[in-house]
Amino acid sequence: MPRKKSVSIVILSYNNREDLEECIPSLMSQTYQDFEIIVVDNASMDGSEEFIRTNYPMIKVVQTGKNLGYPAGNNAGFEVAEGEYIVVVNPDTVADPEWLAELIKPLKNDPTIAATTSKVLIYYQKDKINTCANTSHLTGLTFCRGLNKSADEFSNFQAVGAVSGCSFAIRSDMLKKINGFDPDFFLYLEDTDLSWRIRFAGGKIMYVPKSVIYHKFSLSIAPFKEFYLERNRYLILLKNLNTKTLILLTPALAITEIVTMGHAILNGPKYIKSKLMAYLWIIKHIRTILIKREETLSKKIISDKEFFGLLDWSIPFEQIIENHIMKRTTDIIFNSFYALNMKVIRRIV
């Protein structure tokens, strides 16, 4: 019987055949070769499954039969993964040859590290950053850390608040402990929720600048994305934070409603509708959320006070506002308020 590989790379694909034609060879060319690849196909209609089975018979293919979304799709891959370390990577990426070796190294060297995340550069502008771990805001908002900055920046290996779902590794025992991704998220912020639960379970997340991967990324927020971003932000907060913390967060959350509703109003009726639909979804599913909340809170090892140490209070408004003057004014007003609320929370919580 062949020896189990130490790493299982899980790729979720939904009509990504063209991307896989470039992604898979870059994985096969890694200097670290002790891995298996699992492609989860969310009922693609572009021949992705046939392409993989024909050209890469050594790759495990999991056919879900329907589009399960990002979290449930990846969970299907986790179920058949055999590695001690699980790596999640987007199909629309091309990995540097040392990407995997560097991503896994900290996990092998330090048992206190539960997860690692890569330096993700923009495929179309390889000298620019897509994200260097995600910036996790105290209100559940999530942003690309270092977006559009020079690829030479963010060169320090350091603890961070959240992985980027584009490219990260996690110990399989930690993944089982926290029950993988929450399938209710479907799209967006599921990596933030996973990161919060990793940290609350006592795990450390490290950003690994030498693990480089290139992502076919473009920044845009369509109306459907507005819905998922807002709905899932509420889910993260309600599931993971103690009641006292949520009360202390009330000022910041109220201000964030002004920010997010303002964004929706500036972008038109479809965005406003998406924002309102996020509220309605939370209200409709509040009982299920409270059940999940009870389970999540029961597994918390570290306190909210310790957890807030790696959350960010500053919103990078340059990622959501184009007008320079408005961006500068908004930054001064809102981020000053967030900084004050964060200071109060860290003292009292």
As beta bridge partners, residue 117 has 168, 207
The gap from C-alpha 163 to its chain's centroid, in whole angstroms, comes to 5
Q: pLDDT tens digits for 189-235?
A: 999 999 999 999 999 999 999 999 999 998 878 899 999 999 999 99
Can you tell me the distance from the alpha carbon of 164 to that of 167, in angstroms, rounded to the nearest whole number?
6
Q: What is the mean pLDDT of the chain?
A: 94
Contact present, 99 and 212 (Cβ < 8 Å):
yes
| Chain position carrying tokens 């539960």 | 114
Question: What are the b/e assignments for 50-63, b being 16+ CB within 10 Å?
Answer: ebbeeebeebbbbe
* Cβ neighbours of residue 272 closer than 8 Å, sequence gap 6 or more: 261, 264, 265
Tens digit of pLDDT per residue, the chain (349 long)?
677 899 999 999 999 999 999 999 999 999 999 999 999 999 999 999 999 999 999 999 999 999 999 999 999 999 999 999 999 999 999 999 999 999 999 999 999 999 999 999 999 999 999 999 999 999 999 999 999 999 999 999 999 999 999 999 999 999 999 999 999 999 999 999 999 999 999 999 999 999 999 999 988 788 999 999 999 999 999 999 999 999 999 999 999 999 899 889 989 999 999 999 999 999 999 999 999 999 999 989 999 999 999 999 999 988 877 666 677 788 888 999 999 999 999 989 8
Q: pLDDT tens digits for 82-134?
A: 999 999 999 999 999 999 999 999 999 999 999 999 999 999 999 999 999 99
pTM: 0.94
Contact present, 209 and 151 (Cβ < 8 Å):
no
User: Domains plus CATH for the chain?
Assistant: 7-215 (3.90.550.10), 223-348 (no CATH)
Q: Which parts of 81-134 fold into alpha helices (H)?
A: 99-109
